[in-house]
A and B are shown apart, each in its own frame.
Chain A
Amino acid sequence: MAGTLPGTTAEAAPDGAAELLWFQEVDKGAVAVVGGKCASLGELINAGVRVPPGFALTTAAYRRFVREGGIADAIRELTTGIDARDMDALEARSRELRALVEATPFSMALEDSVAEFYRKLGVRCCLPATPVAVRSSATAEDLPGASFAGQQDTYLWIRGIDDVLTHARRCMGSLFTARAIAYRAKMGFAHDAVAISVGVQKMANSFAAGVMFTLDPANGDRSVIALDSNFGFGESVVSGEVTPDHFVVNKVSLDIIGRTISRKEICYTVDFSAQKSRAQEVPFERQTVQSIIDEEVIELARMGKAIERHYGRPMDIEWAVDKDLPAGGNIFILQARPETVWSTKPPAEARPAAKTALDHILSGMLQGKRVT
């Protein structure tokens, strides 16, 4: 189903293509339809990984939005004749484009479809007006070698259908950030041919959260999982606002072989009255306390290993430990994408193939051994 949909030709999208899909209905073959992020979440769910539930507004939904909103011509006009080197002009165009997208309403029919999915999600989570994360899910962003992580938008603690729709439009507008426009110009992609998907996913109410790489980002070592963690939501870790706790777990034996507990001065928690996350100071006596317990570190590493095995490549994973759920069912994977720094590097040392063990012993002896 997913693979049959054309991903880059707006006009060619046939009417009746699914505009909303549950994550579990998609897999990694659906990048053109639901973007890399949502496809990856669907893939994870189908691989048996615990992921908070949610759904995607597909690229078909985006195209319908553009078509029904009557903004296709305006977009074409505004993206024509841009000098990608003129940053000021680029920024100005970006602002105009985003404002245009954000101000254009969804059609009633599309709004109703989104509202119905959101209602069903609330039923599934036993929580009406479930707080969700609304994220853009671009069709090219997470492909290895073309990483523009962070370029698209994520809005957390969104509650109620009106807010969901508003932020979905904001996410769609993120197709026109200055960097994205410049990148497409540089790569020769047509601005009106690209489309974007939006993911709507239940928020994990994290006690602690962070990221993990299924290799050591410091040296590319494939035999370890490196994990960063802080109290609260993962924002503080992803943004680099705190020095998180750092764990190195042996991927083969699943034991913790490195551990640095940092002073974590702030963390993000939800402000229920404002319906958003906000930074707050970690109580002094907790600042140097390990943010997740060893068992959770190991369970996460186990999940990371399974995810890597499923994708057959090193992965970059966001995770959370939910405080509303009991131990054993409280660890969630929020996002997983291919690691792009080390995976695209050629092997560091192109040593000649060894003839015998002795050749190696000799060359090793001649090189000497630095031990630090």
Chain B
Amino acid sequence: MPTFPNPHDIKAIPGTEGWERMYPYQYQFVTDDPERKAYEEQTFWFYDGLHYPEPLYPFDTIWDEAWFLALSQYNNRIFQVPPVRGVDHRIINGYVYISPVPVKNPADIEARAPHFMERAGYYYKNWDALEEKWKQKMKNTIAELQGLSIPTLPEMEDLRVVTEGLGESKGFHLIKAYDDLINLGIKCWQYHFEFLNLGYAAYVFFLDFVQKQFPSIPVQRVTQMISGIDVIMYQSDEELKKLARKAIELGIEQAVTFSQEWSEVEPALKKLPKGKEWLAALDKARDPWFYISTGTGWYHHDRCWNDAMNVPLSGIATYIGKLKQGANIERPMDQVRAERDRIVKEYRALIEREEDRKTFDELLGTAKTVFPYVENHLFYVEHWFHSIFWNKVREVAAILKEHGLIADIEDVWYLRRDEVKSALWDVVTAWATGTTPRGTKTWPKEITWRKGVMQKFREWHAPPAIGTAPEVIQEPFTIVLWGVTNKSLADWAAVQQVKDPSTISVLNGFAGSPGVIEGRARVCRTVDEVRQLEEGEILVAPTTSPSWAPAFAKIKACVTDVGGVMSHAAIVCREYGMPAVVGTGHATKVIKTGMLLRVDGSTGAVNIAR
């Protein structure tokens, strides 16, 4: 049984003492409450590297709080998932650790079951109609967000306030707009989980059923059975391909690719009549398809394409290059579907009992029904909504800056969302009164200190898990989403015990996409580094997201730190028919650019030639 550190034994990094105030107080591991301390020690906490590859900024904790509430409430209070309550959260040195909370009493589990059948049953039965309704709710929420104006504080209020008898000031409006902004964010995350766990459950138990029939079936084969379904997560990438084709059609590909800087390419295109035509097409694609984050969307610094036009430009340039070489850049969907159908047919034929074949059909059908939501919600929430949201917060930050509470707009992320609210109160009361906000002297100092703390957090290596590892991991969401299984824990623990990472020659992860290939590694920690990729290299990344898509046109295999067989890298590699090993835990730390790798996507092993 692998052993992991006791959460209370992890000491603050020297110089960061007091870091706990950067996060909500309930996120701390505590020693002064014996009951809570005992619970924390006996619980197994794993590092949520899937969502948080780096330490959390105080403000960005908003999404963690949002899903802490949303996931747990849906599991536990709304759908009454019988064996699992919510998922508990802690933060240690800026890193989020989570732990599913089981329902321990069998009688409680039994009592929850009929409610679950009724409630979840309603959703499964009315899935398509409810999903349509969901899309409308999300679109409305995003429209509301886009329409939300963050008022600035005038020297003198407009005459209209008097003549129309408004009776409200811009100071009040600012506070209210901030509250509205936060509430829209929390609401959006309420919707995020409306279907998600039911979706995962349908998928997990399809997987479970197939694995019982075929104990040796690789999980990737099961996911292949639900591949080839159109989802909007890939639309942004499709738009890049369209724009690449259009540039060639219009004969302006030179102008699009002569520089990697959008600031140079855009003015050049504006001078060409055909360039203007292309820019118009681009503008059409930008809303909403360029509201796709360059990261996962979970961090404020994951700027979307609209804010970081060099990223889509680089993708377009890659596709133009491919097209000029005569390469096919289409996703091979017909092939994917034909292979899917062949696999389904062959496995189905291997099932011996007729009843089991019927169950297989039922579960496969449900898994296919839920699949689009499971993929598409990411675009609506993490990409589209978040990208706009972060920029609205920047508008709020501009006011804090204007009033001297922060030196730079990007400093706002070092404040918790409730601290921003307090700071705004400080600003509006001082503005109303005609005095100087107290925060002008306190916040800059605190932010400087927090920046130092964050830097130390980044240099710290978060252990993959802490607390007491259980005999078996039983919570299905944990397995599919985070790729936590006994095997992965043992692998992670083994790597952790190696003192010198330069001696590691084998990494084990999940077999994400089959095939074996050898090649040179290219370690890309962010999507910006994708530009360095050379044809035929093996991409090694913390995790990938849809804005990394153009990278996959260049590489011949992919290795990630975090993610299961449903992760983006695994899905895309299966489509391209190239090997992927995902969820290795440590690939980006152990592997260096230029190393010779052998990636076996059928067994999940990565060999490093040393």
Separation of A252 and B342 alpha carbons in the complex (Å): 9
Q: Are B603 and A219 in contact (CB under 8 A)?
A: no
Contact residue range for chain B?
35 or more
Chain A 309-339 near chain B by CB (<8 Å), digits 1 or 0: 0000000000000000000000000000000
Interface residue? A73 (CB, 8 A): no
Q: Provided the pairs A223-B347, A251-B350, A253-B514 are in contact, do residues A364 and B208 lie with their beta carbons within 8 angstroms?
A: yes
Q: For residue A252, which residues in chain B have a CB less than 8 angstroms away from its CB? A: 221, 342-343, 346-347, 350
Residues 334-376 of B at the A interface (beta carbon under 8 Å): 342-343, 346-347, 350, 352-353, 355-356, 358-359, 362-363, 365-366
Interface residue? A347 (CB, 8 A): yes
Q: For residue A358, which residues in chain B have a CB less than 8 angstroms away from its CB? A: 117, 120-121, 124, 366
Residues 461-478 of B at the A interface (beta carbon under 8 Å): 472-476
Interface residue? A127 (CB, 8 A): no
Q: Are B217 and A223 in contact (CB under 8 A)?
A: yes
Q: Are B81 and A365 in contact (CB under 8 A)?
A: yes
Separation of A365 and B350 alpha carbons in the complex (Å): 25
Q: Are B82 and A366 in contact (CB under 8 A)?
A: yes
Q: For residue A351, which residues in chain B have a CB less than 8 angstroms away from its CB? A: 355-356, 359
Stretch of A78-86, A98-106, A256-264, A284-292 with 4 or more beta carbons under 8 angstroms from chain B: A256-264
Q: For residue B487, which residues in chain A have a CB less than 8 angstroms away from its CB? A: 372
Q: Which residue on B lies nearest to A254, using beta carbons?
A: B514
Q: For residue B516, which residues in chain A have a CB less than 8 angstroms away from its CB? A: 294
Q: Is the interface of B mostly helix, strand, loop or mixed?
A: helix
Q: Are A353 and B216 in contact (CB under 8 A)?
A: no
Q: For residue A347, which residues in chain B have a CB less than 8 angstroms away from its CB? A: 352-353, 356
Q: Provided the pairs A369-B208, A372-B487 are in contact, do residues A357 and B514 lie with their beta carbons within 8 angstroms?
A: no
Closest 5 pairs (CB-CB, A-B)? A353-B355, A357-B366, A223-B214, A364-B205, A354-B359
Q: Are B514 and A221 in contact (CB under 8 A)?
A: no
Interface residue? B202 (CB, 8 A): yes
Q: Are B202 and A369 in contact (CB under 8 A)?
A: no
Q: For residue A248, which residues in chain B have a CB less than 8 angstroms away from its CB? A: 216
13 contacts between A and B (CB under 8 A): A252-B343, A256-B602, A258-B603, A351-B355, A353-B355, A357-B363, A357-B366, A358-B117, A358-B124, A360-B205, A364-B209, A365-B81, A365-B205
Q: Which of A259, A349, A364 has the most CB of B within 10 A?
A: A364
Chain B 195-224 near chain A by CB (<8 Å), digits 1 or 0: 000000110110011001111111001000
Which residues of B are interface residues toward A (Cβ below 8 A)?
81-84, 109, 113, 116-117, 120-121, 124, 201-202, 204-205, 208-209, 212-218, 221, 342-343, 346-347, 350, 352-353, 355-356, 358-359, 362-363, 365-366, 472-476, 479, 485-487, 511, 514-516, 602-603
Separation of A249 and B476 alpha carbons in the complex (Å): 27
Interface residue? A370 (CB, 8 A): yes
Separation of A223 and B83 alpha carbons in the complex (Å): 31
Q: Provided the pairs A361-B205, A370-B472 are in contact, do residues A219 and B216 lie with their beta carbons within 8 angstroms?
A: yes
Q: For residue B479, which residues in chain A have a CB less than 8 angstroms away from its CB? A: 369, 371
Separation of A353 and B359 alpha carbons in the complex (Å): 7
Residues 214-238 of A at the B interface (beta carbon under 8 Å): 216, 219-224
Interface residue? A362 (CB, 8 A): yes
Q: Provided the pairs A219-B216, A372-B486 are in contact, do residues A356 and B221 lie with their beta carbons within 8 angstroms?
A: no
Q: Which residue on B lies nearest to A343, using beta carbons?
A: B352
Separation of A252 and B348 alpha carbons in the complex (Å): 11
User: Shortest distance in angstroms between A172's beta carbon and chain B's nearest beta carbon?
Assistant: 39
Q: Which residue on A lies nearest to B472, using beta carbons?
A: A370
Q: Provided the pairs A253-B514, A347-B353 are in contact, do residues A366 and B113 lie with their beta carbons within 8 angstroms?
A: yes
Q: For residue A250, which residues in chain B have a CB less than 8 angstroms away from its CB? A: 216-218, 221, 602
User: Shortest distance in angstroms between B447's beta carbon and chain A's nearest beta carbon?
Assistant: 44
Q: Which of B342, B487, B602 has the most CB of A within 10 A?
A: B602
User: Shortest distance in angstroms between B211's beta carbon and chain A's nearest beta carbon?
Assistant: 9
Q: Which residue on A lies nearest to B342, using beta carbons?
A: A252
Q: For residue A219, which residues in chain B have a CB less than 8 angstroms away from its CB? A: 215-216
Q: Which residue on A lies nearest to B350, using beta carbons?
A: A222
Separation of A362 and B117 alpha carbons in the complex (Å): 7
Q: Are B216 and A223 in contact (CB under 8 A)?
A: yes
Q: For residue A251, which residues in chain B have a CB less than 8 angstroms away from its CB? A: 346, 350
Q: For residue B350, which residues in chain A have a CB less than 8 angstroms away from its CB? A: 222-223, 251-252
Contacting residue for A257 out of B109, B121, B602, CB 8 A: B602
Interface residue? A368 (CB, 8 A): yes
Separation of A224 and B476 alpha carbons in the complex (Å): 25
Q: Are A369 and B474 in contact (CB under 8 A)?
A: yes
Separation of A136 and B347 alpha carbons in the complex (Å): 37
Q: Are B216 and A216 in contact (CB under 8 A)?
A: yes
Q: Are A221 and B217 in contact (CB under 8 A)?
A: yes
User: Shortest distance in angstroms between A254's beta carbon and chain B's nearest beta carbon?
Assistant: 10
Separation of A83 and B204 alpha carbons in the complex (Å): 59
Separation of A258 and B365 alpha carbons in the complex (Å): 30
Interface residue? A91 (CB, 8 A): no
Interface residue? A255 (CB, 8 A): yes
User: Shortest distance in angstroms between A220's beta carbon and chain B's nearest beta carbon?
Assistant: 8
Q: Are A371 and B359 in contact (CB under 8 A)?
A: no
User: Shortest distance in angstroms between B538's beta carbon and chain A's nearest beta carbon?
Assistant: 19
Q: Are A256 and B603 in contact (CB under 8 A)?
A: yes
User: Shortest distance in angstroms between B243's beta carbon and chain A's nearest beta carbon?
Assistant: 35
Contacting residue for A356 out of B83, B84, B109, B362, CB 8 A: B362
Separation of A219 and B212 alpha carbons in the complex (Å): 10
Q: For residue A255, which residues in chain B have a CB less than 8 angstroms away from its CB? A: 514-515, 602
Q: For residue A360, which residues in chain B have a CB less than 8 angstroms away from its CB? A: 205, 209, 359, 362-363
Q: Provided the pairs A223-B216, A257-B218 are in contact, do residues A354 and B358 lie with their beta carbons within 8 angstroms?
A: yes
Q: For residue A259, which residues in chain B have a CB less than 8 angstroms away from its CB? A: 603
User: Shortest distance in angstroms between B107's beta carbon and chain A's nearest beta carbon?
Assistant: 13
Chain A 117-157 near chain B by CB (<8 Å), digits 1 or 0: 00000000000000000000000000000000000000000
Q: Provided the pairs A360-B363, A362-B82 are in contact, do residues A221 and B216 lie with their beta carbons within 8 angstroms?
A: yes
Q: Provided the pairs A223-B350, A347-B352 are in contact, do residues A362 and B116 lie with their beta carbons within 8 angstroms?
A: yes
Q: Which residue on A lies nearest to B476, using beta carbons?
A: A369
Contacting residue for A371 out of B342, B472, B514, CB 8 A: B472
Q: Are A365 and B214 in contact (CB under 8 A)?
A: no
Q: Which residue on A lies nearest to B601, using beta carbons?
A: A255
Separation of A369 and B209 alpha carbons in the complex (Å): 11
User: Shortest distance in angstroms between A363's beta carbon and chain B's nearest beta carbon?
Assistant: 9
Q: For residue B359, which residues in chain A have a CB less than 8 angstroms away from its CB? A: 351, 353-354, 360
Q: For residue A253, which residues in chain B have a CB less than 8 angstroms away from its CB? A: 221, 343, 514
Separation of A220 and B82 alpha carbons in the complex (Å): 31
Separation of A6 and B492 alpha carbons in the complex (Å): 65
Q: Provided the pairs A362-B113, A365-B201, A369-B208 are in contact, do residues A357 and B217 lie with their beta carbons within 8 angstroms?
A: no
Q: For residue A220, which residues in chain B have a CB less than 8 angstroms away from its CB? A: 215
Q: Are A361 and B352 in contact (CB under 8 A)?
A: no
Separation of A353 and B360 alpha carbons in the complex (Å): 11
User: Shortest distance in angstroms between B259's beta carbon and chain A's nearest beta carbon?
Assistant: 43
Contacting residue for B603 out of A257, A354, A369, CB 8 A: A257
Q: Which of B109, B124, B215 has the most CB of A within 10 A?
A: B215
Q: For residue B205, which residues in chain A have a CB less than 8 angstroms away from its CB? A: 357, 360-361, 364-365
Separation of A358 and B216 alpha carbons in the complex (Å): 25
User: Shortest distance in angstroms between A344's beta carbon and chain B's nearest beta carbon?
Assistant: 12
Q: Are B474 and A368 in contact (CB under 8 A)?
A: yes
Separation of A365 and B516 alpha carbons in the complex (Å): 35
Q: Are B603 and A221 in contact (CB under 8 A)?
A: no
Residues 278-311 of A at the B interface (beta carbon under 8 Å): 294
Q: Are B472 and A221 in contact (CB under 8 A)?
A: no
Separation of A222 and B353 alpha carbons in the complex (Å): 13
Q: Which residue on B lies nearest to A356, using beta carbons?
A: B362
User: Shortest distance in angstroms between B509's beta carbon and chain A's nearest beta carbon?
Assistant: 14
Residues 187-220 of A at the B interface (beta carbon under 8 Å): 216, 219-220
Separation of A360 and B116 alpha carbons in the complex (Å): 13
Q: Which residue on A lies nearest to B117, using beta carbons?
A: A362
Chain A 267-286 near chain B by CB (<8 Å), digits 1 or 0: 00000000000000000000
Q: Which residue on B lies nearest to A363, using beta carbons?
A: B205
